[in-house]
Amino acid sequence: MAGLATVFGSGAMTNSIPEIENNDLLFVIGSNTTETHPIIGLRMKKAYRRGAQIIVADPRKIDLVRFSAIWLQHRPGTDVALLNAIMHVLLKEKLIDKQFIADRTEGFDAFKKSIEDITPEKAEKITGVPAKDIVKAALLYGKAKRPAIYYTMGITQHSHGTQNVFSVANLALMTGNLGKESTGVNPLRGQNNVQGATDMGCIPNQYPGYQRVDVPAIRQKFAEAWSTELSPKPGLTATEMVLAAHEGSLKALYIMGENPMISDPDMQHTKKALQSLDFLVVQDIFMTETARLADVVLPSSCFAEKEGTFTNTERRLQKVRRAVTPPGLAREDSSIIMDIAGRLGSEMRYNCMEEVLQEIGGLWPAVAGVTYGRLEEAGLQWPCPTPDHPGTPYLFKGGFPRGKAAFTPVSFEPSKELPDADYPFILTTGRQLFQYHTGSMTRRVPELNEVAPEAYIEIHPDDARELGADDGEMLRVSSRRGSIKLKARISDRPARGLVFIPFHYHEAAANMLTNAELDPVCKIPELKVCAVRVEKETGR
Amino acid sequence: MLHLTINGLRVTVPEGTTILDAARSADIPIPTLCHHPKLTPYGGCRLCIVEVKGINRPVTSCTTPVAADMEVATTTPAIERMRKTILELILSDHPNDCMVCEKAGDCTLQELAYFYGVSDNRFEGERRCYTGKDHNPFIGRDMEKCILCGKCVRVCEEVQGVGAIDIAYRGFNAKICPPFEKDLSCEFCGQCVSVCPTGALTGKAWTQRGRQKDVREIDTTCPYCGCGCSLTLHVRRNEIVRVSSRDDTINEGWLCPKGRFGYTFVHSRDRLKTPLIKEKGVHREASWDEALDLIASRLSKIGKKHGPDAIGGLSSARCTNEENYLFQKFMRAVIGTNNVDHCARL
Amino acid sequence: MKSSLTIRICMGTGGIAAGGADVMAVFADQLATKGIRADIRKHCSIHKVGCRGLCAKDVLVDVIRNGDKTTYQYIKPDMVERIIEEHVVGGNPVQEWAVGEDYHQFHDKQIKVVLSDCGNINPEDIDSYISAGGYSALEQAVKMTPAETIALIKKSGLRGRGGAGFPTGVKWEICRSVDASQKYIICNADEGDPGAFMDRSVIEGNPHAVIEGMTVGAVAIGADKGYVYIRAEYPLAVERLRNALKQARERSFLGKNILGSGINFDIRVKLGAGAFVCGEETALIASIEGLRGMPRAKPPFPVYKGLWGKPTVINNVETLANIPHIIRKGAEWYASFGTEKSKGTKVFALTGKIRNSGLIEVPMGIPLREIIFDIGGGIENNRKIKAVQTGGPSGGCIPAELLDITVDFESLARVGSIVGSGGMVVLDETDCMVNIAKFFLQFTQSESCGKCVPCRIGTKRLLEILERVTAGKGRLGDIELLESLANDIKATSLCGLGQTAPNPVLSTIKYFRDEFEAHITKKKCPAGVCRDLLSFVVLKDFCKGCGACKRVCPAGAITGERKQTHAIDPEVCVKCGACFDACKFKAIGKG
């Protein structure tokens, strides 16, 4: 999100889910939407049925390819080269919006220079996508009236993820495809309330509402509201905390509802880091791999056992309602936090969760108009500054929060770890339809496990033949960081030389293999590209 | 806009509106079994027939667009007799085992049979008999109860884009099945279950978990991906027994297999039920006071010794906005550090 | 006059089934060995021709020697030698094998338009069609404006021959008027009625006429793509059609820039997989689109939204085969045949208990009696005619009392039947009308697509009631129940299949209610057909005690000493009727 925030001054989906069906072109890059966001996938299919064309750019032949007008199978990690070449074509074909560029953006000339010699032919060498397909995709996007770009972790989980996002933003800016209904840039958030957690300031450099901790006036506002002194120093990101724990500067960690053991790259490293902490508290609904390492484990409540709100990927706040009571002594996370705060001598007392929302609204005007009463029927999309504001389906209608949006010249940089003789395959990781994230919930649903019981590695039939591996045969997959064994799933979804492993399974954790290399700006790890070796598992 | 009269009532609707939609917009009921507002009109059940002046046979209101000055009668003795005949025909090939049917009380066919008073049926004869069961874990398919309204086929093709099922065979033997009558092997979104008007398609997890009358329905938001689908939890005796979705929200009533069938983790035996404290490498049960006191004292000590930035907090995308707000406030205002993050990047 | 020899051998499906290919091979072989080809040089030709109608007398062979034609019937390969010896070489036709008076009578009352060239031209040779005037209509049509062509067809009064009888010119005109970038014309050759083979014979006998008619239609409506949807069960028709399409393309009658007119049109052949309902136009469209052949609701009609949502004209084979003749000879000429509202001729497949079963083409308005007795030669075995079933499974039964009605759209509809696609089944006193109704219901029920309730379940229940009636388990009230259900099915079914499926039931009840009543109340089948209602007894006065019945009885139900009167044990009897057939003394009573 840092990438988009840099460009526009705000980072979120620019449009709403219902608007998808009125797109006349969907450019889906780095998002296996039908599996990771099935219901958004349905809207995309609906758009397709209504005549929209779909460009899919993905190293794998994902399900959405069936509905696509064109599929660009670029090599993992070459998104920038692909996007630059597309923009090169748009420039050449004069399919840019000069008025929009002049009125609402800055830095176009420098950007223009940066792509002048990125021809589709050059990009073909890097991406593996035929130049004519790049041209075709560019023309489709350039000529569309209501095009929108959709991306997920396929764009961001790279050592150059921020650069990828800049590139996507450049594409929308140069064509003026922003600030309009059914037209924009849409990062699809992977988890139910990842948007909300970010909105609420669970990020080390920003208070709720993307207000920076290192700006004195802002800090002052929060300090007054919370009646305390606040640190001006931006904190550590999750991955940096793990590093800090490993080197000993971080002594205690309080984890609420997270399972970094499975979700973070380089699992061995994560484990060592957590073990070297002086004190680890994990508050969760299950004994996760992370909770096993904790000094104290606190039983908390799941979504069906509490009141509150979630904010979905399109900035829509919706009600969460208590349907059942928590098991045993388990308590709601909010009451646990308030209780610990009290024991540390700070009163955090609220009679109900709506009081918390009211307090948030006082500090972040974008949700000031949201009340539980208004959420009874349907959700509200922020910004919703006043009690009579209807919410905002799409952003930047009148302008960008930072004034003019900035073009950022981006040049292609290869991923940090590329295949070589020892590790000849590129591994990319992701989700599959029947499991979710680290599996702590879905793996406890017997039906889901019956259809998706175990980890597998997707491998191209030709590669499998060279290995002499049959479908379902056990393979050993190793990287410089670790090794796991899992079943082969021979499939034409990945290209030759590419393998895919879903990361939900702790017993064959993809993140034993992945690279913890971080994007320098937003500290996202390079989970989408690392080099691995695949061998037949023999003897065992 | 076109003007027409329905049962003598003047109705104005946009061009292209079907008679059925026009009637419903005027709150005039017309029975249907195969109609679904989000799917292509089908015209299979024939219950929605109406009389249109100037047309010598009844027309299906779900497929017929209105015309200017059309005069429609939705209920006449002849129409009602024919509707009853159709219901008799359907019921003559239906198990009619409502007393044990999962769908009882929520079944469109049952409701129509009730309103039309189909107690003694003029028709009898052979009934379809399917002994094969589908072994997939999610969707129960009792095809003897299937009335071939085709909604499942259409939703699978038109909404889900999968096309896992279609009608096979002809005449009385026509049935809806996956290719070669194998077990379902699809995305298991359960969209078909949500549109089935009878007990032909049900969630296996719902079986014998309670009928509608015992169930409380609570609307909430799905805990899985970022789409934010609205879920309706059906709760009986403090247990979620089923999940459905309202059709007036952003997900339009559609769900994915996790949203629709992935709720049983809530009642998993693995749930943590008590605080645990690790002693000598082993977790032991503890009281809340004991656990929270320990946390307060350790955090306080570490903060004092190494400074607040030696403490970090990871919040969760699984928690609510309010909890996330409280968590970061706790870290910033109580502990005194900006070391707070969550898994946005993973 | 030069000596010439033409031998035409009927090689329609009927002819081939009767051994036409063998006959033709023997002719070729023997003519070659006898060196006749050399003698008469190029004036000798043997060719295959399409069906000439009287299939009952196949293999039919024409020998035309120096202009004099003799037609032989029932020809087998071993008869060829004598024909060659005596007729071809000797010049004396083999009179005992030549067709008789009834053959000529069969043809005399017919007026052949659609079938005029069938049986004369070689269907596999485009030049044979062209020399009979073929494709001159297309040459004319590309020079006419679409409006002129449509006006001509409207003026001719041509109505669709597929069953519904919609005016063809009007259909074309509507489609022409719809604004669309793409239009289609489809030839419906999915002839599915049991006993109907008009369309098959036309395509087998003269495929170019259909192609020409379709192309004229395409030019008129502005379609550049056409489909012939034809049953895969018609392999010979498909083969000849494909061959004809290839030839037509080579001669620029099809493809790009037809005859230099700048008009493009081409035809693809789509094979149906044997579903009766695919003859229904919306189901046919679904089938071409690659979907399950199921009808959809109309409106919208295909002329507005048809194949892939584009305006589409669907015409039946016979309709299209009429077009070239109308263009060539004029609307007035065509309209001179038939009645005021039903113009032109109609091809019927005449079958059942009739002497001359086969394919006939008659002017609309001909009395039914003339068809049955003059063309058809009357009833087999001099039995009494009971009824004529017209229009196939969608049609109805016309009782013998009404034989004087004329055959056209209006008058058949008045008596509760239809022209339909042209099936005509003659029934005699040995036919049970309840059983006939049951037969057609069995067909329509098993061919129902299953989409709508009244057709899927309603026809099943109708059939079951008929089954119990014919099994002697009929109940009082069943006739009324049949009528009530049949009427509801007619009124509420989605497509033509369901809407007409009850017709055979309703028309038999209408005219033969007493037969239904006999089955239900007296538990008797007056025609002696329904086995469950029959009982077989030995008639003492006639039985000679020969034992023939005892020997053929499969159930061992007959006992009796030689020369003594035998007896049938009704408990054991399976009512197969073998004894009845075996008895030479009419000593087995059935009833």
Residues A88 and A171 in one domain: yes
Tell me whether residues B239 and A285 touch, CB distance under 8 A.
no
Tell me whether residues B325 and A195 touch, CB distance under 8 A.
no
Interface chains of chain B (3 or more CB pairs under 8 Å): A, C
Phi, psi for residue A162 in degrees, rounded to 5: -65, -40
Mutate to test the interface with C, among B34, B48, B89 (most CBs of C within 10 A): B89
CA-wise closest residue to A278 among B310, B120, B209: B310
Q: Which of A315-319, A479-483, C30-34, C584-588 has the highest mean pLDDT?
A: A315-319
Q: Read out DSSP for A257-310?
A: S--HHHHSSSHHHHHHHHHT-SEEEEEESS--TTGGG-SEEEEB--GGG--EEE
Tell me whether residues A252 and B158 touch, CB distance under 8 A.
no
- B2-75 CATH: 3.10.20.740
Percent of chain A's residues with pLDDT above 70: 98
pLDDT of residue C105 exceeding 90, the answer is: no
Residues A171 and A204 in one domain: no
Interface chains of chain C (3 or more CB pairs under 8 Å): B
Angstrom CA distances, C573 to A344, B281, C550, C551, C560, stand at 101, 90, 11, 14, 15
Chain C positions touching B126 (Cβ under 8 A) are 460, 464
- Confidence class of residue B345 from pLDDT cuts 50, 70 and 90? low
Residue A88: per-residue pLDDT: 94
- To which H or E segment does residue C13 belong? helix C13-17
Q: What mean pLDDT comes out for the span C544-570?
A: 91
Cα C521 → chain centroid: 37
Chain C positions touching B92 (Cβ under 8 A) are 457, 461
C458 touches chain B (CB under 8 A): yes
- Expressed as residue numbers, the domain containing A516 is 425-536
When CB atoms are compared, the residue of A66, A252, A258 closest to B310 is A252
Q: What mean pLDDT comes out for the span C233-242?
A: 92
A519, A161 Cβ separation under 8 angstroms: yes
Using CA atoms, how far apart are residues C136 and C134, in angstroms rounded to an integer? Answer: 5
Query: Which 3 state secondary structure label does DSSP give B202?
Result: strand
State the smallest CA–CA distance between residue C292 and chain B in angstroms: 8
Using CA atoms, how far apart are residues A40 and C30, in angstroms rounded to an integer? Answer: 77
Touching chains C and A? (3+ Cβ pairs < 8 A): no
Condensed to tens digits (0 to 9), the pLDDT of residues A352-386 reads 999 999 999 999 999 999 999 999 888 999 899 99
State the smallest CA–CA distance between residue A354 and chain B in angstroms: 8
Residues A479 and A335 in one domain: no
C478 touches chain B (CB under 8 A): no
C459 touches chain B (CB under 8 A): yes
Condensed to tens digits (0 to 9), the pLDDT of residues C169-219 reads 999 999 999 999 999 999 999 988 887 888 998 999 899 999 999 999 999
Query: Which 3 state secondary structure label does DSSP give C111?
Result: coil
Residues A179 and A223 in one domain: no
pLDDT of residue A539 exceeding 70, the answer is: no
Q: What mean pLDDT comes out for the span C386-410?
A: 92
Chain B positions touching A329 (Cβ under 8 A) are 273-275, 288
The structural domains of chain B, with segments of one domain joined by +, span: 2-75, 212-269, 272-299, 307-346
DSSP state of C521: I
Examine residue A24 and state whether it is found in any structural domain, yes or no.
yes
Tell me whether residues C446 and B170 touch, CB distance under 8 A.
yes
Mean pLDDT over each residue of chain A, to the nearest integer: 90
Tell me whether residues B167 and C451 touch, CB distance under 8 A.
yes
CA-wise closest residue to C305 among C142, C136, C127, C184: C184
Examine residue A392 and state whether it is found in any structural domain, yes or no.
no
Residue A2: per-residue pLDDT: 56
Touching chains A and B? (3+ Cβ pairs < 8 A): yes
Residue B7 zone, left/alpha/beta (φ > 0; ψ -120 to 50; rest): left
When CB atoms are compared, the residue of A234, A253, A287 closest to B272 is A287
- Confidence class of residue A269 from pLDDT cuts 50, 70 and 90? confident
Residue whose pair of structure tokens reads 């799905």 in the numeric block: B222
State the smallest CA–CA distance between residue B173 and chain C in angstroms: 8
Task: Provide the H-helix boundaries in A51-119.
Answer: 79-92, 98-104, 108-115
CA-wise closest residue to A54 among A72, A39, A75: A72
Residues A128 and A222 in one domain: no
> Amino acid identity of C482?
L
For residue B247 the two structure tokens come to: 């059709």
Examine residue A261 and state whether it is found in any structural domain, yes or no.
yes
- To which H or E segment does residue A488 belong? strand A483-490
Chain B positions touching C449 (Cβ under 8 A) are 167, 170, 174
Residue A280: per-residue pLDDT: 96
pLDDT of residue C40 exceeding 60, the answer is: no
A410, A514 Cβ separation under 8 angstroms: no
Domains and CATH numbers, chain C: 5-99 (3.40.30.10), 126-335 (3.40.50.11540), 345-428 (3.10.20.600), 433-522 (1.20.1440.230), 534-590 (3.30.70.20)
C431 touches chain B (CB under 8 A): no
Mutate to test the interface with A, among B318, B331, B337, B340 (most CBs of A within 10 A): B318
When CB atoms are compared, the residue of B227, B316, B329 closest to A39 is B227
For residue C581 the two structure tokens come to: 């057939």
Phi, psi for residue A459 in degrees, rounded to 5: -140, 145
Three-state secondary structure of A28-49? EECCCHHHHCHHHHHHHHHHHH
Examine residue A411 and state whether it is found in any structural domain, yes or no.
no
CATH code for position A326: 3.40.50.740
C69 versus C136: the higher-pLDDT residue is C136
Condensed to tens digits (0 to 9), the pLDDT of residues C294-311 reads 999 988 899 999 999 999
Examine residue A415 and state whether it is found in any structural domain, yes or no.
no
pLDDT of residue A264 exceeding 70, the answer is: yes
When CB atoms are compared, the residue of B228, B314, B332 closest to A238 is B314
Residue A259: per-residue pLDDT: 87
Residues A356 and A455 in one domain: no
Residue A10: per-residue pLDDT: 61
| CB pairs B-C closer than 8 Å | 106
Query: Which 3 state secondary structure label does DSSP give C48?
Result: strand
Residue A9: per-residue pLDDT: 62
Examine residue A387 and state whether it is found in any structural domain, yes or no.
no
Tell me whether residues B172 and C445 touch, CB distance under 8 A.
yes
State the smallest CA–CA distance between residue B244 and chain A in angstroms: 14
Cα A438 → chain centroid: 15
pLDDT of residue B225 exceeding 60, the answer is: yes
Using CA atoms, how far apart are residues A450 and A318, in angstroms rounded to an integer? Answer: 31
Do the two domains B2-75 and B212-269 of this chain adopt the same fold?
A: no
Q: Which residues contact C202 (CB under 8 A, 6 or more apart)?
A: C114, C115, C118, C209, C210, C317, C318, C321, C347
State the smallest CA–CA distance between residue B212 and chain C in angstroms: 28
> Amino acid identity of B247?
D
pLDDT of residue C550 exceeding 50, the answer is: yes
CATH code for position A174: 3.40.228.10
Tell me whether residues A319 and B220 touch, CB distance under 8 A.
yes
Dihedral of the CA atoms C201, C203, C209, C210 (nearest 10)? 120
State the smallest CA–CA distance between residue A444 and chain B in angstroms: 5
pLDDT of residue C155 exceeding 50, the answer is: yes
- To which H or E segment does residue C216 belong? helix C207-221
Residue whose pair of structure tokens reads 């159930």 in the numeric block: C555
Residue C42: per-residue pLDDT: 44
Condensed to tens digits (0 to 9), the pLDDT of residues C490-537 reads 999 999 899 999 999 999 999 999 999 999 999 999 988 888 888 888
Angstrom CA distances, A293 to A274, B269, B282, C162, stand at 7, 21, 10, 80
Examine residue A119 and state whether it is found in any structural domain, yes or no.
yes
Tell me whether residues B150 and C297 touch, CB distance under 8 A.
no
Task: Provide the H-helix boundaries in C448-572.
Answer: 453, 459-470, 478-492, 496-500, 503-517, 548-552
Does B212-269 carry CATH code 3.90.180.10? no
For residue A166 the two structure tokens come to: 């800049």
Angstrom CA distances, C299 to B41, B45, B75, C33, stand at 12, 17, 22, 65
Condensed to tens digits (0 to 9), the pLDDT of residues B267-309 reads 999 999 999 999 999 999 999 999 999 999 999 999 999 999 9
pLDDT of residue A146 exceeding 90, the answer is: yes
State the smallest CA–CA distance between residue C234 and chain B in angstroms: 21
CATH code for position A513: 2.40.40.20
Residues A88 and A25 in one domain: yes
Last residue of a domain, one of A136, A155, A188: A188
Q: What mean pLDDT comes out for the span B107-128?
A: 93
DSSP state of B279: E
Condensed to tens digits (0 to 9), the pLDDT of residues C240-281 reads 999 999 999 999 999 999 999 999 999 999 999 888 999 899
Using CA atoms, how far apart are residues B258 and C291, in angstroms rounded to an integer? Answer: 31
Q: What mean pLDDT comes out for the span A414-421?
A: 86
Q: What mean pLDDT comes out for the span B18-38?
A: 95
Angstrom CA distances, C158 to A52, C334, C545, stand at 44, 8, 65
Residues A204 and A346 in one domain: yes
Q: Which residues contact B280 (CB under 8 A, 6 or more apart)?
A: none
Using CA atoms, how far apart are residues A515 and A529, in angstroms rounded to an integer? Answer: 8
pLDDT of residue B93 exceeding 50, the answer is: yes
State the smallest CA–CA distance between residue A329 and chain B in angstroms: 5
B337, B309 Cβ separation under 8 angstroms: yes
Mean pLDDT over each residue of chain C, to the nearest integer: 89
Examine residue A416 and state whether it is found in any structural domain, yes or no.
no
Interface ipTM > 0.85: yes
Q: Which residues contact B320 (CB under 8 A, 6 or more apart)?
A: A193, A196, A306, A307, A308, A309, A310, A320, A333, A334, A353
Let me know how many helices (H) and strands (E) chain C has, helices first: 25, 19
Chain B positions touching A327 (Cβ under 8 A) are 267, 271, 273
Residue C305 zone, left/alpha/beta (φ > 0; ψ -120 to 50; rest): beta
pLDDT of residue A270 exceeding 50, the answer is: yes
Last residue of a domain, one of A188, A208, A231: A188
Number of domains in chain A: 3
Residues A224 and A361 in one domain: yes
Query: Which 3 state secondary structure label does DSSP give A460?
Result: coil
CA end-to-end span of chain B: 52
C323, C221 Cβ separation under 8 angstroms: no
